[in-house]
Structure 1
């Protein structure tokens, strides 16, 4: 007569797996090895489950990636407190978004590119909450809903570009002291790219956090100058 399996084994295999466990394990694989490393087979191995059981929670890899991206965006918080200092609050939004991207650099491009093919009302709710929360923040600060939407679009257009650029700031030879060699700019024809080569010291000293603040200075200054706001002084009448 066959001996029964140990209780610990029976309980482990019988315990149903949750969607959150699947997403957590998938994100760990992506964070460590990139999106291409994720497969249902590898995910099943990480969870000690038959990969076929995972399809109950995600019908394919594309759906799984959408769910992982949504779970990452769920970590993004926007303070909607009405304290009147909307510019400072937007800076905190930008800093938080950048931190999230740097924490999950492999998944971040999905947050920018995947929703583009999906109508607004059909996108995962987590991708819409930042929009709703920022609209709330700005309308409470006194902006019209239309102007608040313009601010959101300007802010996240800048953020998406900034973070994607920062994630691509790679160097060819990290231990090299010469800036041209460190960045691989010595490979470029001198006559075709004189200005780019001349910027080697600036490019080599790139600091993502500092560049973010400089960009926000320009963006917020421009928004303050061009968008009407109840707290702004009325234009002088000549």
Structure 2
């Protein structure tokens, strides 16, 4: 049922999903679906749970570090967002609908895995929570911006027309129109890595690798 609901959302958006349409797609009486999902809200929670179940936070292998693990997780999250663009608003907003402890367990597993990764890297509990919020806040913002900047007409050669910016009044939006070339050349993957450089550099002093490096420099200084 959730797989079919996800397919309907992928095809036509969240607004197009209804119990009636889902029942038709499954060949079942829509009223019987309420045995598995008490409401459309519960169904949407299930869809979010299903999508997030595809996100794996990698363990930090021997010789690797927590920063690379966070980079791989970020790229995996972006890939999920691009594969299910209509679900992204749900991934960002559905967690706000309920208190932390009342969310579906599937939505909490990435949080648990990231906290485990960060604490294992040397962050204390408070620092791990801070790092998680900063990291996920950046990821949410990035994927939302990337999806909003999609090219409207890929076959059009003129950047204003490709992006649909020709609709904007010239006098009110001179900057946006002038930046059509930059907007058309947007590389979401590269910008994700550039943003991660900034986020991870800010978190680095809290991690074990920098603590150990500082200790090593202190030992060298006493020799």
What is the Cα deviation at residue 131 of structure 1?
1.1
- Which protein shows a greater Rg? 1
Name the structure, 1 or 2, with higher relative contact order (CA <8 Å, separation 6+). 2
Normalising to structure 1: TM-score of the pair? 0.82
Q: Is the 8 A contact 1:185 1:200 kept in 2?
A: yes
Q: Where in structure 2 are the equivalents of 1:33-182 lying within 5 Å?
A: 33-81=12-60, 83=62, 85-182=65-162
Normalising to structure 2: TM-score of the pair? 0.87
What is the Cα deviation at residue 193 of structure 1?
3.5
Map of 1:213 onto structure 2: 193
**Larger helix proportion of the pair:** 2
| 1:29 maps onto 2:8 in alignment | yes
For the structure 1 residues 144 and 35, does the alpha-carbon distance in structure 2 shift closer, same or farther, using more than 3 Å as the test? same
What is the Cα deviation at residue 180 of structure 1?
2.5
Map of 2:202 onto structure 1: 222
Q: Distance in 2 between matches of 1:31 and 1:188?
A: 29
Residue-pair matches, total: 215
* Unaligned 5+ runs, structure 2: none
* Unaligned 5+ runs, structure 1: 1-21
Secondary structure of 1:106's partner?
A: helix
